A and B are shown apart, each in its own frame.
Chain A
Amino acid sequence: MTASSKQLERCCLATVGATVGFPKLIKTVLENKFWEHIRAHGFTSLRIQCGPDMPWASEYLSSHKDQIPPGLKVEVFGLSKNLMLEEMTLCKAVAGKSDQGLVISHAGTGTILDAWKLGLPIIVVPNTDLLDDHQSEMAHYLADEGYATQSSTDLEDLQSAIDKSNRLWEENKNRWQPHSTSSQAHARISLWEISPKEVRREENSQMVHD
C-alpha cells in the first residue's frame, strides 16, 4: 500500500447469505487480529452481513468495540434488500474517494456473480458444514479459474488469502474484463445466436461438442 492510498476509503464486505448462517466465518472476521490485518492493508471499513447470526454478532461487537484499531470502522447488519446495490457498490474504487475494496463471501453463486458483475475481488470461504458440501465445489472451481481466492474460516488462512487476493488482482486484472476469452479456443456463443437447426442425418457427425 502506498502512502497516498491510505488516505482513501477502502471497504471490506463480509457476507454469509440470507438463509443459513455461517458463524465460523463471522467469528473469524470479528477477531481483533483480523481487524488489525485488514487495517494494515489500508481498509477503513469492515461491513459484516450476518443473516441469522445477527443477534450474537452485534452483541459480541458492542462488547469488543474498544479493540477496534483506530482508522477502521466495523459494522454488522442482518440483511439488505439488494446486497449488490447497497453494499457491494461501497467496495468500488471511486477516483479520489475510495480504493478498490474486497468481498469475503460464502461460496453462494448469487454473491459471487454480483461481485463479478461489479468487478470486485472476492475471497470465497466455503461453508463445509452444509449438507452436501456443495460450496467447496464452487470455491475450487473459482480458485482454479482464477476468478477468486479460496480460503477456510481459519484466521491465518483468511489473512494470507487477503494478501494473495491483492496479488491475484494485480496479475489477473484482464481476466475480469468483459468478453475476455483468455485461453478459450472458441468464443462463447451469445444467447441471442442460439438457434436449433434441423439437419439431415449425415451431417449429424459434425456436431460441435465443446
Chain B
Amino acid sequence: MANKNKATATRAVIITLGGLGIVVGFVAVQPFASGPVIRHLQLSQQRRRRQVQWSHSRERVKTREQPHDYYLFVLGSGGHTKEMLMMMDDGFCHFENFHRRYLISSGDTMSLDHLTDFENDVKLLCEKEGQSPGTYDTKVVARARRVHQSLLTTPFSALVSLYGIFQVLLSPPANNVGKTLRFPRLIFSNGPATGFFVGLAVHVLKILYIIPEDKCLFVYIESWARITSLSLTGKLFHFTGIADAFAVQHEEVAKRYGVSNAGPLVFNYKRRPLGSAIGASS
C-alpha cells in the first residue's frame, strides 16, 4: 500500500515537474522561436516594397551610382554558367572599384574555364576603352549532392556545402573594395539548386541580423531555356519569395506565373570579331 502511494507520488512529481518544464521551456524559448518568425515576415514585407525596373528606354546608364561595388555571381554549371556569362558580357566596362566574386561548385572546371575567359575578355575590352576592369575572385564550395551520391549522406554534404556558402558570404574581398564593403550588394543566380542554397543562406543570416537587410539583395533570373514553365529552382524562389528581384526571359512563362519578363537577356551578349571572343585557356 505504502509502496503504491509512493509510486503515485513519484509519478505526480514527475508529471508536475515535466509540465512545469514544458511551461518554463515554452516561456524561455518563446522569444527565440517567435523572433525569427517575426523577422522573417519583416524581411518578406521589405522585399515586397522593393521594385526592379526590368526594361527601360534606349539611353543606357554609363556610370555607376556607387563609388565602390561588390557583386556575387552564383555560377551553376554548364548551360547555366554559359547563360550567366552571356548576360554579363554585354560590352559594359565601367568597373572602377568594382569587385566581382564567383561562386562555383567543386569539380566544375567548365565554369572556371569560361569565367576565366570572360574575365580576360573584360580586361582586354576595358583596356581598349581606357576603363578599369575592376577586380574579381573565385570561391569554390563543396557540392550539396554529387551525382549518384547516397541519399543517406546527402544531408551531411549539404551542410558542408552550406557552411562553405556562409564563408563565401561573410569573407570580404581581400582588396580596397573589401575594406569598404563587407557584403556583396547584389547576388545573381540563374539556377540551378546552388543558387537557392545561397538565397536561403542569405535569408538565414539576415534573420540572425548578421547580414544587414539592404545588403546581399538577391536577383534571380530564370534560365533562358525555360519558355513555358519555371525550373525547380525558379519555383522555389517564386513560392518562398526569398529573392529580392525575380524575372524570367520569356513572355509565356511570365504570364503563367504572373512574374516580370526581362526579355532574352542572354542576347545582350556582345559579339566580337572572330578570335578575340574565344579565350585560349581551355
| A181–B50 CA distance with the chains assembled, in angstroms | 28
Contact with B along A123-154 (1 / 0, CB 8 A): 00000000000000110010000000000000
In the complex, the chain B residue whose C-beta lies closest to that of A206 is B51
Of B49, B53, B262, the contact of A201 (CB 8 Å cutoff): B49
**Known contacts A92-B274, A110-B78, A113-B83, A81 near B282 by CB under 8 Å:** yes
Q: Please tell me the number of chain B residues within 8 Å of chain A, measured between CB atoms.
A: 56
A78 at the interface (CB under 8 A from B): no
Of B51, B57, B221, B278, the contact of A197 (CB 8 Å cutoff): B51
Residues of the B chain whose Cβ atoms lie less than 8 Å from the Cβ of A82: 282
Mark the stretch among A23-31, A162-170, A187-195 that contacts chain B.
Answer: A187-195
Of A116, A141, A189, A198, the contact of B56 (CB 8 Å cutoff): A189
A62 at the interface (CB under 8 A from B): no
**Known contacts A110-B78, A113-B266, A184-B263, A189 near B271 by CB under 8 Å:** no
B111: shortest Cβ distance to chain A, in Å? 13
Residues of the B chain whose Cβ atoms lie less than 8 Å from the Cβ of A186: 55-57, 263
- Chain A interface residue count: which class? 35 or more
Residues of the B chain whose Cβ atoms lie less than 8 Å from the Cβ of A190: 60-61, 90, 92, 268
Q: Chain B interface secondary structure, helix, strand, loop or mixed?
A: loop
**Known contacts A92-B274, A178-B271, A187 near B82 by CB under 8 Å:** no
Of B265, B270, B277, the contact of A191 (CB 8 Å cutoff): B265
| A178–B91 CA distance with the chains assembled, in angstroms | 10
Residues of the A chain whose Cβ atoms lie less than 8 Å from the Cβ of B223: 109
Residues of the B chain whose Cβ atoms lie less than 8 Å from the Cβ of A198: 46, 49-50, 214
Interface residues of A (CB under 8 A from B): 81-82, 84-85, 89, 92, 94, 109-110, 113-114, 116-119, 137-138, 141, 178-179, 181, 184, 186-201, 203-204, 207-210
Interface residues of B (CB under 8 A from A): 46, 49-58, 60-61, 64-65, 78-79, 82-83, 86-88, 90-92, 94, 186, 188, 214, 217, 219, 221, 223-225, 227-228, 244-245, 250, 260-271, 274, 277-278, 282
